[in-house]
Amino acid sequence: MECIRGKTSAGIDAAGLAAGYDDVLIDVGTGDGRYVMHVARTRPSWFAVGVDACRENLRKASRRAPANALYVIANALALPKELDGMASKVTINFPWGSLLVGLLDGEPGLLEGLLAIARPGAALEVRLNAGALADAGYTLESGDTRVRRALHAGGFEAGDPVWLDARDLRRCHTTWAKRLAYGRDPRAVCLRGRLGSHSVLRDCA
């Protein structure tokens, strides 16, 4: 598995680094890694892992990463086996490109990977924005329905959708959320659920 720290990238034993932490967050499609940094700094008992296919995005955050944060360069449609069974929480914030299409189409490589990295009962949060869904040919509502169905087939149960507006997006600790909040179409939806469980939480901002 390729991990990045500033300009250098190397194979690192993620499970070894995460040992001793109560919980592990894996943020798939992490972009510039801001959300991972936020979780690592505000929750010292958590180990936070950001995964993105784009090396350039991760360079800056990885250089400043605290001991309980790690950035991994990987395709979400083929998540590294080294992450298997680690996550007590998986997040996917404002995906685009093949990650969004994978969610909409229930791409087996993506869903099997998400299931594999999750511990039993792991929490899942997926935030989808209207603009990215429109580019993929869906409304916010139809995209939500389609992704929910795909997640269900993949073993994740999502509760009722939580609709997010500009105010909610401003409270999200990701770079893309901030950008969307001040953009042309600040609408999004959050699907929140658990692996194989019907107990879901409501507050998604």
Ligand X SMILES: C[S@@+](CC[C@H](N)C(=O)[O-])C[C@H]1O[C@@H](n2cnc3c(N)ncnc32)[C@H](O)[C@@H]1O
Q: Which of 1, 6, 9, 97 binds ligand X (CB under 6 A)?
A: 97
Spell out, one character per residue from 8 to 47, where the chain touches ligand X: x when CB under 6 A holds, - when not: ---------------------xxx----------------
Please choose, from the candidates 98, 106, 101, 103, the residue with its C-alpha nearest in 3D space to the C-alpha of residue 54.
Answer: 98
Q: Which of 80, 95, 161, 186 binds ligand X (CB under 6 A)?
A: 95
> Considering only 41-49, 69-77, 112-120, 193-201, which stretch makes contact with ligand X by CB under 6 A?
69-77
Token pair for 142 = 């139809």
State whether residue 43 is helix, strand or coil. Answer: coil
- Name the strand (E) or helix (H) holding 125: strand 118-129
Q: Which of residues 172-191 bind ligand X (CB under 6 A)?
A: 174-177
Contacts of 89 (CB under 8 A, 6+ apart): 23, 24, 25, 26, 122, 123, 124, 125
Q: Which single residue is written with the structure tokens 């991972």?
A: 36
Q: Which of 96, 109, 200, 205 binds ligand X (CB under 6 A)?
A: 96
CB of 132 to ligand X, least distance (A): 7
Complex with ligand X: residue 76 or 151, whichever CB lies closer: 76
* Terminal C-alpha separation, the chain: 31
Q: Which residues bind ligand X (CB under 6 A)?
A: 29-31, 52-54, 57, 75-77, 93-99, 174-177
